[in-house]
Amino acid sequence: MLELRLVQGSLLKKVLEAIKELVTDANFDCSATGFSLQAMDSSHVALVALLLRSEGFEHYRCDRNLSMGMNLNNVSKMLKCAGNDDIITLKADDGSDTITFMFESPNQDKIADFEMKLMDIDSEHLGIPEAEYHAIVKMPSTEFARICKDLSSIGDTVVISVTKEGVKFSTRGDIGTANIVCRQNTTVDKPEEATIIEMQEPVSLTFALRYMNSFTKATPLSSTVTISLSSELPVVVEYKIADMGYIRYYLAPKIEDDEDMKPE
Amino acid sequence: MLELRLVQGSLLKKVLEAIKELVTDANFDCSATGFSLQAMDSSHVALVALLLRSEGFEHYRCDRNLSMGMNLNNVSKMLKCAGNDDIITLKADDGSDTITFMFESPNQDKIADFEMKLMDIDSEHLGIPEAEYHAIVKMPSTEFARICKDLSSIGDTVVISVTKEGVKFSTRGDIGTANIVCRQNTTVDKPEEATIIEMQEPVSLTFALRYMNSFTKATPLSSTVTISLSSELPVVVEYKIADMGYIRYYLAPKIEDDEDMKPE
DNA sequence: CCGGATCTGA
DNA sequence: TCAGATCCGG
């Protein structure tokens, strides 16, 4: 028996918007710890990891570990039927091959339940080792999204270079080149507007902007984003989900770090 | 060495939106006087002339005259990467075949530079003679834009007729005819809402609405537009750019002035 | 001036 | 059906 009640239902709606562009089918894993997902994108290049801790739910009951395969587009369709301030409850009976989404309007006038068939999905749950990162950049999530969007109108890849002074996003394309430098800045009105750089050593890595732009679909979940970089390691782009957990995206750097090595 | 600093960067963004639909490639000319452009549209029917006087820039340095050929779509792409309240600086070294756009966010936290290759463009710089016009109509730019848009859903050409009483915009198409008369009106709350007609003699000329609608892309640059008409002369549609200059569009009238002579 | 929502074109 | 542009509200 599974029963998860989430008062802030809009959060689950945003989570699905943040994942579904990247992943079509995935297993949601439910345990006493929380509600989580780990999946590769359809081209097996990027990885997304979601955690919603049990403490973040108003009510959390999970009698035994469950792995529930779902088509994320279908989940998203169901969740679009929930109002932004609806309370969402997920229910599944043990051994059932369906999951039920229940939506309660704030004034309890409307109660909807949507039942969806589960599917069998080969899960390839990778252990993600905790790593030490050469540089960790924390910045406003909207600013990061804007930069990725802007750069993708010039080129296909972004070089992210971190020094003590700031973080530089660069690209190069047919029509020219672009460099955007964000300086470390902690003297802001609100903490979520700060750009903070924790750096052990300088790092410069290249990534496909296409994936970065998919990651920024999580922007509505958090006002800040954390980008963790190490040579030879996948970058981690993390959006914290208040009081509940996080959504993390992993993407391996392109080998051809050197701009001059670009073909064409 | 060229270095132009424009605090109100959004102005340059608007200028490009106002030109790029009409002109794909053009030379920007830079001299001590200012930053200017003159180009025919791609079908060589309309002419657009831009002037941004040097005094309008916060910093203006132009050591020697430069003519810089650019693809306006690419320029527009770059400028879209600037925030609306960014400070924009254009830089070019003498003899360089590139131009650099620099964008500074208001708080200086984000500094971006975009480098673009220049191109060689045959410039056909026409001297535009100052002319006396039979009629000059000044009206709110939004109203003119609305009229052109509305009429183009009925017909392909507009007849602009000016008398002392007002200006009439007429069209005719398969589904019917339309006439919009704007009366001279100076008794308004704000001067930019006035419709003012200076007329030496009545005039009635026909123009292709397709071009008129392109001209109205400059509407965000000015709250008023000035339309100068003379028989046998191209109309001038001018949008003043506050403190800096103007953007002017020239379009020859259609010969078949007479509505009844329309073919089809 | 920015963010959200809506509407429309591809 | 999705992404872009525009309009409106904070």
Q: Which residue type, as a one-letter code, is found at position A5?
A: R
Q: What share of chain A is helix, strand, coil (3-state, %, to 5)?
A: 20, 45, 35
Contact by Cβ (8 Å): B152, B210: yes
Chain A residues within 8 A of B107 when measuring between CB atoms:
185
Q: Which two tokens stand for residue B260?
A: 């009844």
- Reply yes or no on whether the pLDDT at B105 is more than 90: yes
B225-to-B68, B142, B253 alpha-carbon distances in Å: 28, 9, 18
Q: Which residue type, as a one-letter code, is found at position B196?
A: I
Q: How far is the CA of A156 from the C1' of C2 (A)?
A: 27
Please choose, from the candidates A67, A54, A72, the residue with its C-alpha nearest in 3D space to the C-alpha of residue A27: A67
Mean pLDDT computed over every residue of chain A: 92
Instruction: Return the beta strands (E) in A8-65 as ranges.
Output: 25-30, 34-40, 46-53, 59-62
- Reply yes or no on whether the pLDDT at B68 is more than 70: yes
Please choose, from the candidates A252, A200, A198, the residue with its C-alpha nearest in 3D space to the C-alpha of residue A226: A198
Q: Which helix (H) or strand (E) holds B212?
A: helix B209-215
Contact by Cβ (8 Å): B68, B28: yes
Contact by Cβ (8 Å): A63, A2: yes
The pLDDT tens digits for B6-51 are: 999 999 999 999 999 999 999 999 999 999 999 999 889 999 999 9
> Which percentage of chain A shows pLDDT scores above 90?
82
What is the Rg, in whole angstroms, of the alpha carbon atoms belonging to chain A?
20
B136-141: average pLDDT:
95
- Counting beta carbons within 10 angstroms of the beta carbon of residue B210, is it exposed (0 to 12), middle (13 to 18) or buried (19 or more)? middle
B9: left (phi over 0), alpha (psi -120 to 50) or beta: alpha
pLDDT band at residue B164 using 50, 70 and 90 as cut-offs? confident
Which has the higher per-residue pLDDT, B246 or B107? B246
**pLDDT the model gives residue A256:** 66
Residue with tokens 């990725």: A148
Domain ranges of chain A: 2-117, 135-251
How far is it, in rounded angstroms, from Cα B133 to Cα B228?
6
Residues 205-244 of chain A within 7 A of strand C, judged by CB, are 220
A243-to-A8, A11, A53, A104, A240 alpha-carbon distances in Å: 11, 11, 8, 22, 9
* CATH level 2 (architecture), domain A135-251: Box (3.70)
- Reply yes or no on whether the pLDDT at B259 is more than 60: no
Count of alpha carbons within 13 angstroms of residue B197, beta-carbon side: 22
Contact by Cβ (8 Å): B179, B169: yes
CA A201 to the chain's CA centroid = 26
Please choose, from the candidates A133, A204, A205, A201, the residue with its C-alpha nearest in 3D space to the C-alpha of residue A164: A201
- Reply yes or no on whether the pLDDT at B76 is more than 60: yes
**pLDDT the model gives residue B264:** 47
Give the one of B107, B112, B115 whose C-beta lies nearest to A176's C-beta: B115
3-class SS of residue B28: strand
Residue with tokens 């756009």: B101
How far is it, in rounded angstroms, from Cα B225 to Cα B136?
10
Chain B residues within 8 A of A138 when measuring between CB atoms:
none
**Class at the top of the CATH hierarchy for domain B2-117:** alpha beta
A49: left (phi over 0), alpha (psi -120 to 50) or beta: beta
Q: Which residue type, as a one-letter code, is found at position A15?
A: V
Give the residue ranges of DSSP H helices in chain A. Answer: 9-19, 72-79, 141-152, 209-215
Contact by Cβ (8 Å): A42, A25: no
Q: How far is the CA of A77 from the C1' of D2 (A)?
A: 15
Say if the Cβ atoms of B78 and A179 lie within 8 Å. no
**pLDDT the model gives residue B260:** 53
> Does the nearest atom of strand C lie within 7 Å of A84's Cβ?
yes
Q: Which two tokens stand for residue A176?
A: 């020219």
Say if the Cβ atoms of A181 and B71 lie within 8 Å. no
How far is it, in rounded angstroms, from Cα A216 to Cα B55?
41
Residues 80-99 of chain B within 7 A of strand C, judged by CB, are 83-85
Q: Give me the DSSP letters along A83-116.
A: -TT-EEEEEE-TT-SEEEEEEE-TTSS-EEEEEE
The pLDDT tens digits for A123-166 are: 777 788 888 999 999 999 999 999 999 999 999 999 999 998 89
CA of A173 vs chain B CAs: smallest distance (Å): 10
Neighbours of A149 (CB within 10 A): 15
- Reply yes or no on whether the pLDDT at A264 is more than 80: no
Q: Which residue type, as a one-letter code, is found at position A237?
A: V
- Reply yes or no on whether the pLDDT at A25 is more than 50: yes
What is the Rg, in whole angstroms, of the alpha carbon atoms belonging to chain B?
20
pTM exceeds 0.85 for this model = yes
The pLDDT tens digits for B169-188 are: 999 998 899 999 999 988 88
